[in-house]
C-alpha cells in the first residue's frame, strides 16, 4: 500500500505554524518578531528554540524595512544563501556569499585566520546598509565585529547572527549583543545554523506568512 501523506505545500506550512504557535512560548515577542521566531522553530524542528532567541529593540522592523529598501543580504555560507527564498524578497535583493571567491584561501593564509573570516573582508564594498546573515561560522561574526570597530568601516543595517556550534558560537553571539548600536537578532548558545538563519530572512522579507 502506498503511504498517504499531506501533499499540499501550503497546507503543510499552515499546519506546521499552527502547531508551533500552540506549543511555543511566544508572548515576549512582538507580532513581527513572532513571524521570524515561528519560522526559525519550523526550520529547526525544535519548539524551545524560542527560549534562546533575542532581538535588539526594533531589529526585526529594521530588517524588514532594509530589505524593502533593496538592502543586499550578506551570507557567510552557501547553505544560507541558497536557503533564502528569492521570490519572498521584496526588492530583488542581491544575495551575496563571498566564501567561494577564488582569493579567499590565500587571503585566509595571509590573515592567519579561517576562510569564513577572510571572506568577510570581501564584504566591505557591500556592507553599507546591508542585512548580514551569519548562520555557520563564529569566526565570520567575530571578524565582522572587529571590522566594525574601525570607524571608517561602513555599517550594516542589521545583523542576523546565528552561527552554530561548540567553539566560539555562544561567545560571538554574546559579543554581538554587547555591541552598541547594531540592530541584531541572535540565537544564543550553541544552537543556530544556516536553516534557522535563512528562515529569519524569509520570514521578515515578505508580508505574507506563507
Instruction: Please identify every residue annotated as catalytic.
Output: 42
Task: Tell me which residues in 93-152 interact with a copy of itself (CB under 8 A).
Answer: 112-115, 117, 138-139, 142, 145-146, 149
Determine the 3-state secondary structure of 149 from DSSP: coil
Joined together, the cell numbers standing for residue 119 give 571572506
Q: Are 188 and 164 in contact (CB under 8 A)?
A: no
Residues of 55-87 as b/e, b for ≥16 C-beta within 10 angstroms?
bbeebbbbbbebbeeebbbbbbbebbbebbeee
26 or 44: CB nearest a copy of itself: 44
Task: State yes or no: residue 193 binds a copy of itself (CB under 8 A).
Answer: yes
Joined together, the cell numbers standing for residue 10 give 501550503
The correct pick among 53, 127, 169, 185 for binding a copy of itself (CB under 8 A) is 169
CA-closest candidate to residue 14, choices 40, 36, 42:
42
The correct pick among 72, 156, 183, 192 for binding a copy of itself (CB under 8 A) is 192
41 or 67: CB nearest a copy of itself: 41
Q: Which stretch binds a copy of itself (CB under 8 A): 5-13, 61-69, 124-132, 152-160?
A: 5-13
The interface mask with a copy of itself, positions 56-95, x = CB under 8 A, is ----------------------xx--xx------------
Query: Strands 95-97 and 53-55: what pairing?
Result: unpaired
62 or 193: CB nearest a copy of itself: 193
Joined together, the cell numbers standing for residue 37 give 521566531
The helix or strand, by DSSP H or E, that contains position 11, with its residue range, turns out to be helix 9-23
3 or 208: CB nearest a copy of itself: 3
Q: Which stretch binds a copy of itself (CB under 8 A): 60-68, 87-95, 124-132, 158-166?
A: 158-166
Distance from the first to the final alpha carbon of the chain: 32
Q: How far is the CB of 126 from a copy of itself (least distance, A)?
A: 20
Task: State yes or no: residue 190 binds a copy of itself (CB under 8 A).
Answer: yes
Half-sphere exposure (Cβ direction) of 53: Cα atoms closer than 13 Å: 31
Half-sphere exposure (Cβ direction) of 58: Cα atoms closer than 13 Å: 7
Query: Which residues are near a copy of itself by CB under 8 A?
Result: 2-3, 5-9, 12, 15-16, 19-20, 42-46, 78-79, 82-83, 112-115, 117, 138-139, 142, 145-146, 149, 164-169, 171-172, 175, 189-195, 198
Amino acid at each position: 500500500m502506498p503511504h498517504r501523506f499531506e501533499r499540499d505545500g501550503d497546507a503543510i506550512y499552515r499546519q506546521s505554524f499552527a502547531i508551533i504557535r500552540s506549543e511555543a512560548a511566544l508572548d515576549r515577542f512582538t507580532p513581527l518578531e513572532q513571524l521570524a521566531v515561528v519560522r526559525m522553530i519550523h526550520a529547526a524542528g525544535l519548539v524551545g528554540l524560542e527560549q534562546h532567541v533575542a532581538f535588539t529593540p526594533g531589529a526585526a522592523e529594521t530588517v524588514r524595512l532594509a530589505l524593502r529598501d533593496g538592502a543586499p543580504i550578506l551570507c557567510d555560507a552557501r547553505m544560507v544563501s541558497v536557503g533564502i527564498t528569492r521570490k519572498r524578497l521584496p526588492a530583488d535583493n542581491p544575495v551575496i556569499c563571498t566564501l567561494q571567491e577564488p582569493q579567499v584561501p590565500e587571503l585566509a593564509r595571509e590573515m592567519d585566520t579561517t576562510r569564513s573570516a577572510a571572506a568577510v573582508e570581501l564584504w566591505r564594498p557591500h556592507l553599507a546598509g546591508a542585512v548580514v546573515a551569519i548562520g555557520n561560522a563564529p569566526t565570520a561574526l567575530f571578524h565582522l565585529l572587529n571590522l566594525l570597530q574601525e570607524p571608517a568601516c561602513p555599517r550594516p543595517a542589521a545583523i542576523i547572527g546565528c552561527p552554530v556550534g561548540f567553539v566560539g558560537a555562544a561567545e560571538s553571539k554574546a559579543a554581538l549583543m554587547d555591541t552598541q548600536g547594531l540592530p541584531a537578532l541572535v540565537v544564543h548558545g550553541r544552537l543556530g545554523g544556516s536553516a534557522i538563519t535563512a528562515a529569519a530572512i524569509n520570514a521578515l522579507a515578505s508580508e505574507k506568512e506563507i
